[in-house]
Amino acid sequence: MARQTPTLEHVAKLAGVSQMTASRALNGRSGVSRETRDEVLRIASDIGYVVNRTAQKLSGGRNGIIGIITPTLDTQFSSELILGAGRAARGAGCEILVYTVFDEDRHPHHDLLGLIQQFSDGILAILPRESLCLEALSSAKVPVVVVDQRGGTLTDFPSVSVDNYGGARLAVEHLAELGHKRIAFLAGDETIEGVRDRQRGYHDTLARLGLPREDALVAAGDLSQMMAFDVTFDLLNLADPPTAIFSANDQSAFGVIAAIREAGLRVPDDISVIGFDDIPMSEQFHPALTTIRQPFQQMARSAINTLLAQIAGIGAASQRITLPAELVVRDSTGQVRTKQGGAHHQIVST
Amino acid sequence: MARQTPTLEHVAKLAGVSQMTASRALNGRSGVSRETRDEVLRIASDIGYVVNRTAQKLSGGRNGIIGIITPTLDTQFSSELILGAGRAARGAGCEILVYTVFDEDRHPHHDLLGLIQQFSDGILAILPRESLCLEALSSAKVPVVVVDQRGGTLTDFPSVSVDNYGGARLAVEHLAELGHKRIAFLAGDETIEGVRDRQRGYHDTLARLGLPREDALVAAGDLSQMMAFDVTFDLLNLADPPTAIFSANDQSAFGVIAAIREAGLRVPDDISVIGFDDIPMSEQFHPALTTIRQPFQQMARSAINTLLAQIAGIGAASQRITLPAELVVRDSTGQVRTKQGGAHHQIVST
DNA sequence: TTGAAAGCGCTAACAA
DNA sequence: TTGTTAGCGCTTTCAA
């Protein structure tokens, strides 16, 4: 069809107007008569005109692209967020482009920033970890919104995160209501602010409810399933083992459950397990995982809206949005068993 | 520092050369004396110059960016591939930008193509499904390489995929060597070429080995864990149930194993399970999953190299690369149990 | 080995 | 409501 990519010039010429008028019509700006606009639009569509966003950007305008920076692509966490951001952005007529900053990166973060800026109207930074990126981002020429890190001391970027502290409270309260007293916590990566908040929530709630707080009940994980599997045995081998385990994230919870089974115990009959995140897998897992849901969609939407506002020049300089977490009760938590209680499931292995 | 983003003009001025010379030096082209080059490079680095890739592209040159199109971000499959592509690209001095084409997309694919082209020197399309994208891509102005689909009839793009057929053969042979005769297959999404190849491999190998091929031994899945969980019961409830199940992908295999357990059986003691993909989770799963490994890194590297060659103007017009799959034996497959065999694990539930 | 001129496709700013 | 001019930052020609 189009032997040569159609440009604004072509559209303008065919419509018999100036490029400027065509541009205005195409971008839905004011200052164009209805008829002219319709005509331009029709022709553009006819010849399959697609605006060149590269030129758009270069000439100092907006190009309707939002850049997303993420440290990883292989965690449900990021992909859920990106998915949500994509939906929200497209809803607002924007496109998103994703740039991955690998951890291994000895990448001059300077460069990366330059690159993203050149392409987009604004940056959505998914930064669970207090990474170096923030520093680089602080000299950004386009608006930035940070997801999942309030990044207190470091920057003044608007941010969106879930109420990690409150979510942890919900988890512990749920367990307590089921009669659990010895509640263990499988900690996660300490470098992640949100994860530290969960641990604080665990501790404080235990204290408030008058439940035992012992160092031995806190196992050190790294948010990975494998690590969780390993350290769970330490918990299980305690003289007075926990009847419930609160895992810092869902992924770890899977490891916890695997370990419990490996030890010949059952979930939730012998031990209850609750996670944090509510990734898609959690619902499919057997037993379906009770967990604290992060409202990924909502977080993403909120972040995009904030960013869009910044781009438009409206919106507070530095707002911090915290969204509530939600308890999702499924099959991995249950009433605590009394020691002398009746029948037990057991595995007879010869 | 930089009160205003430094441009080539600044660099050139400071170095006392023309922009063109500076450009040549920065891009490592010939036609610049060593001294001039070094000086330009030094100054550029000093003032924190970062090339504007947008301008670079607009002015008709390459900009060292590879665009990746992917239908999903939330499958290990895509993220593994993207990860690998990122590594390979960076190794070659390129950056990658990811664009997600949602399935839900009523997106004028025309637009998307335009967008990606404008930004990049070439496109890597991860297209397991025979999507509409291919059609849109066929009018691309930049080179395209397709991963995971040979897309026979549709296009002539160079492509990279794993030997799905051969992988399936490995899986069945492995099971057969362990003494299994009744081997079931959990099929996946029929719209995916690679998945169909796996099924063919399963069938043909069964035939070659003289093993029973029954329709009842093939369950219809959709590559999801949940679906796999459900349909596995059909397999288990067969009058003469299989002693081994070959699942079209790892994710499904997890569902299969969960279902087997739910039915009170053990893996691999009672039933062996083998997957396909070897996603990271498979190693961590309990039991660790025996599976057929797709060489994601290698596929990605190969695709990037092919693409780079195309961009450079060398490289065959339409080559199809098929990489070998590999059997990874872990804990989910074992010697078949003879019916009258000795002790069994069993679960006594009251 | 170097430089000057022109232009990629678009949009601000200004003018009419 | 419309058009003109200039220029974004770079690279391609072509010339020196």
Using the CA of A18, which nucleotide's C1' is the nearest one? D3
Helix (H) or strand (E) holding A302: helix A296-312
Distance from CA of B291 to the nearest CA of A (A): 18
Query: Is any atom of nucleic acid chain D found less than 7 Å from the CB of residue A96?
Result: no
Which one is the CATH code of A164-295: 3.40.50.300, 2.60.120.10, 3.40.50.880, 3.40.50.2300?
3.40.50.2300
Mean pLDDT by 10 residues, chain A (350 residues): 78 94 93 92 93 93 92 86 93 92 61 87 88 80 87 75 97 98 95 93 98 96 93 97 97 95 94 96 90 96 95 81 97 83 40
Which fold would CATH assign to domain B65-156+297-322? Rossmann fold (3.40.50)
Q: Which of A249, A253, A246 is nearest to A172 (CA)?
A: A246
Q: How many other C-beta atoms lie within 10 A of the C-beta of residue A341?
A: 10
Reading the block at residue B22, the tokens are: 């500076």
- At residue B151 the predicted structure's pLDDT band, cuts being 50, 70 and 90, is low
In whole angstroms, give the CA distance from residue B105 to residue B92: 32
> Which nucleotides of chain D does any protein CB come within 7 A of?
1-13
Rounded to 5°, the CA angle A20-A25-A26 comes to 100
CATH number, span B9-51:
1.10.260.40
What are residue B30's phi and psi, to 5 degrees?
-80, 170
Start-end of H helices in chain B: 8-15, 19-26, 34-46, 53-58, 76-91, 109-119, 133-137, 164-177, 193-209, 225-236, 250-262, 280-284, 296-312
Q: Which residues contact A291 (CB under 8 A, 6 or more apart)?
A: A250, A253, A274, A275, A276, A277, A278, A282, A328, A330
The integer distance in angstroms from the CA atom of B228 to the C1' atom of C11 is: 54
Judge whether B344 is closer than 8 Å to chain A, CB to CB: yes
Strand partners, A322: A161
Domain boundaries, chain A: 9-51, 65-156+297-322, 164-295
Q: What is the mean pLDDT of chain A?
A: 89
The angle, 0 to 180 degrees and rounded to 10, between the axes of the packed helices B250-262 and B225-236 is 50
Asked if the domains A65-156+297-322 and A164-295 are classified in one and the same CATH topology, the answer is yes
* CA-based R_g, chain B, Å: 26
> B61-114: per-residue pLDDT in tens?
899 999 999 988 888 889 999 999 999 999 999 999 999 887 555 555 667 788
> A172-221: per-residue pLDDT in tens?
999 999 999 999 999 998 888 899 999 999 999 999 999 999 999 999 99
Q: What chain A residue is nearest to B7 in terms of C-alpha separation?
A: A114
CA dihedral A82, A87, A89, A94 (to 10 degrees): 110
Using the CA of A61, which nucleotide's C1' is the nearest one? C11
In whole angstroms, give the CA distance from residue B243 to residue B260: 11
Residues in chain B with CB shorter than 8 Å from the CB of A277 are none
Q: What is the pLDDT of residue B109?
A: 62
In whole angstroms, give the CA distance from residue B239 to residue B219: 15
Q: What is the pLDDT of residue B27?
A: 93
Residues in chain A with CB shorter than 8 Å from the CB of B103 are none
The integer distance in angstroms from the CA atom of A8 to the C1' atom of D6 is: 17
Residues in chain A with CB shorter than 8 Å from the CB of B347 are 345, 347-348
DSSP state of B338: P
> Which nucleotides of chain C does any protein CB come within 7 A of?
1-13
Q: What is the pLDDT of residue A310?
A: 93
Chain centroid to CA B206: 27
DSSP state of A349: -
Q: Are A47 and A6 in contact (CB under 8 A)?
A: yes
Residue at the smallest CA–C1' distance to nucleotide C3: B18
The integer distance in angstroms from the CA atom of A244 to the C1' atom of C8 is: 65
Residues in chain B with CB shorter than 8 Å from the CB of A78 are 73
State the DSSP string of B15-80.
Answer: HTS-HHHHHHHHTT-SSS-HHHHHHHHHHHHHTT----HHHHHHTTS--SEEEEEES-SSSHHHHH
Q: What chain A residue is nearest to B67 in terms of C-alpha separation?
A: A97
- Check residues A141 and B324 and name the one with the higher pLDDT: B324
Distance from first CA to last CA of chain A, Å, rounded? 73
Q: What is the pLDDT of residue A1?
A: 41
Q: Are B38 and B17 in contact (CB under 8 A)?
A: no
Q: How many other C-beta atoms lie within 10 A of the C-beta of residue A93?
A: 9
Interface A–B counts its CB contacts (< 8 A) at: 139
Distance from first CA to last CA of chain B, Å, rounded? 73
Strand partners, A56: none
In whole angstroms, give the CA distance from residue A277 to residue A258: 18
Q: What is the pLDDT of residue B272?
A: 98
Q: Which residues contact A28 (CB under 8 A, 6 or more apart)?
A: none
